[in-house]
Amino acid sequence: MGLQQEVQTLRMVPMFSQLDPARLKLISFASERVQIMPGEEFIREGEEGEDAFVLLSGRAEVTLEGGETHVKLGEVAENQIVGMIALLSHGRRTATVRALEPLECLRLPKDVFHQMVRDLPDFALAVMRDLSDALERQTAHFREVLDDHADRDAKH
């Protein structure tokens, strides 16, 4: 994929859609294109986060691990970014992300991500919006799980 095509692809990512072409080129240059095979875990819960991944194609599942049990939180697909929480919190990964099909991604290093958040207020707001939307989706998911448990308890 050429630079111009990569810039157009990045523009499709909602978080990057308002960035000027020069910034998108910088992201492209600073990122590493990676291929991830189905079944491969490319983010592991509990590990230190060093980068975020921009999904260019394919789908992945997001899960929480707990011993022998894992709970599927949802799926991510092209034009979405995963791995931001650990970058922002300077902490550990909060979930595991596993490829469901072949993925093509851009690996965005932590230092580039931090520089963008510091230098670009619109980007920082887009990050907050994206994280807020994700929190809202997860809250709705947990509400469904609680309602299912309440329904099962009521039947017993």
End-to-end CA distance of the chain: give it in Å, rounded.
57
pLDDT at position 148 over 80: no
Tell me what pLDDT residue 74 has: 87
**pLDDT confidence band for 1 (50 / 70 / 90):** low
* Beta carbons of 23 and 29 less than 8 angstroms apart: no
pLDDT at position 2 over 90: no
Tell me what pLDDT residue 106 has: 92
CA distance 28 to 86: 21
pLDDT tens digits for range 50-102: 999 999 999 999 998 877 788 888 899 999 999 988 888 878 898 999 999 99
Burial pattern 116-142, b for ≥16 Cβ within 10 A else e, equals bbeebeebeebbeebeeebeeeeeeee
Instruction: Say what the pTM is.
Output: 0.83
The mean-pLDDT minimum among 16-20, 120-124, 132-136 falls in 132-136
Structural domain boundaries in the chain: 3-155
Most confident of 61-65, 119-123, 125-129, 151-155: 61-65
CA distance 83 to 61: 13
Closest of 33, 52, 32 to residue 42, by C-alpha: 52
Tell me what pLDDT residue 120 has: 86
Query: Tokens in use for 101?
Result: 């099909």
CATH class of the region 3-155: mainly beta
